[in-house]
Amino acid sequence: MVGASPMMRKIPSGVFGLNPLMDGGINERTVSVVIGAPGAGKTTFAINFLRRGLEQGEDAIFITLDEAPEQIVQEVIQMGWEDAQQHLDDGSMVFIDASGKQFTNFIQKELGAFVGEWTGHNARIVIDPLTPVLWSVKERYEQRDIVSYLLRETRKIGTVLCTLEEHGIQGDLAAPELVIPMYLADNVIHLRYKSHESPEKREMKIIKCRSSKHSRYWHPYRIVKGAGIIIQHASEEFAPAEKRVDFKMELKKQLGKVKAERLEAMHPMERDAMLHTLDSLANEDLSDLDPREVVTRILEEHGLI
Ligand SMILES: Nc1ncnc2c1ncn2[C@@H]1O[C@H](COP(=O)(O)OP(=O)(O)OP(=O)(O)O)[C@@H](O)[C@H]1O
Ligand SMILES: [Mg+2]
């Protein structure tokens, strides 16, 4: 696979707090893999990514390999993305349901035509999860061939993000079904989810990000209805829980500092989506997140601060 060149354009990831950790965002037309245990937030991550593209007028392709599209749509609406159905209705988002199919057949027989159909579009493509593709063939070299072909083809139509299931010991990224896609991908992000701890702990780390200076640390993250994944940055600036400020007040304060022209210059769809997200968070339980950091991460994602 051709690596990212320094000339590559960064696109915003849609995952709040991630762009600064990846040197400004995800390189356009690259392949990212997001690795995590069950419940880590892989699908949420993928949705954040697609949603951000849609806001900017890009197309979204969701290739699902184990859940039915209807179920995914229902879940994302429940997670606070009310516009999902509208994007499906107007065709800006499509689901490719490969869940009941022989993946090898789908990839070998249908993928070429599909890619041909979408050539010329500027899309974000999600493959969630990629793991069954690896399991659909037996030999290691076949696994490499099929995944390599799949990624090469899909990146022709845009920026690709695949998720990988982490089985067995968490943090052991040496399993063959992880290693092959990790090698082929341009970017690798690990979502570490310690569901056995109380309270549960979620942390993310960028394992690799070609052609970019990226963070080498673990960063805690939360999943919040309406916003999806929010990555926290280590900072003394944000107060401990007992000193929390009111979300609505904080929002008003920070938005007040943004120049009106900056807001007006935004793509209307993006601005509406951002304001809607911020608005909906006012009624959410942010648990231990500092509202000041939540507002900061969201305005930062949209380049307003
Ligand atoms: N409405 C909600 N509000 C807040 N958090 C939610 C909500 N719905 C789901 N979550 C959180 O998101 C987590 C699931 O995230 P997601 O489905 O993205 O994980 P995943 O890594 O894709 O899991 P899987 O391996 O099962 O596909 C849930 O465990 C839950 O903690
Ligand atoms: Mg999932």
Tell me if 243 sits within 8 A of 37, measured CB to CB: no
- Tell how far the Cα of 133 is from the centroid of ligand 2, in angstroms: 15
**Neighbouring residues of the ion ligand 2, judged by CB less than 5 Å:** 42-43
Domain residue spans of the chain: 10-234, 238-305
Per-residue pLDDT of the chain (305 residues; tens, 9 = 90+): 444 455 789 999 999 999 999 999 999 999 999 999 999 999 999 999 999 999 999 999 999 988 889 999 999 999 999 999 999 999 999 999 887 667 888 898 999 999 999 988 999 999 999 999 998 888 999 999 999 999 999 999 999 999 999 988 777 898 888 999 999 999 999 999 998 889 899 999 999 999 999 999 999 999 999 999 999 997 767 766 656 789 999 999 999 999 999 999 999 999 999 999 999 999 998 988 999 999 999 999 999 99
User: What is the rounded CA–CA span in Å between residue 53 and residue 123?
Assistant: 8
Q: Is 226 in the pocket of ligand 1 (CB under 6 A)?
A: no
**Pairwise CA distance, residues 154 & 156, whole Å:** 5
The answer, yes or no, to whether any atom of ligand 1 lies below 6 A from the CB of 112, is: no
Q: What is the pTM of this model?
A: 0.94
- Look at domain 10-234 and name its CATH class: alpha beta
Angstrom distance (rounded) from CA 97 to CA 214: 34
Residues contacting residue 258 through CB under 8 Å, at least 6 positions apart: 299, 304, 305
If you write DSSP's letter for every residue of 215-256 in order, what string do you get? Answer: --S-EEEEEETTTEEEE----TTSPPGGGPPPHHHHHHHHHH
Neighbouring C-alpha atoms within 13 Å toward the C-beta of 98: 26
Q: How far is the CA of 112 from the centre of ligand 1 (A)?
A: 32
Instruction: Confirm or reject: Cβ of 64 under 6 Å from ligand 1.
Output: no
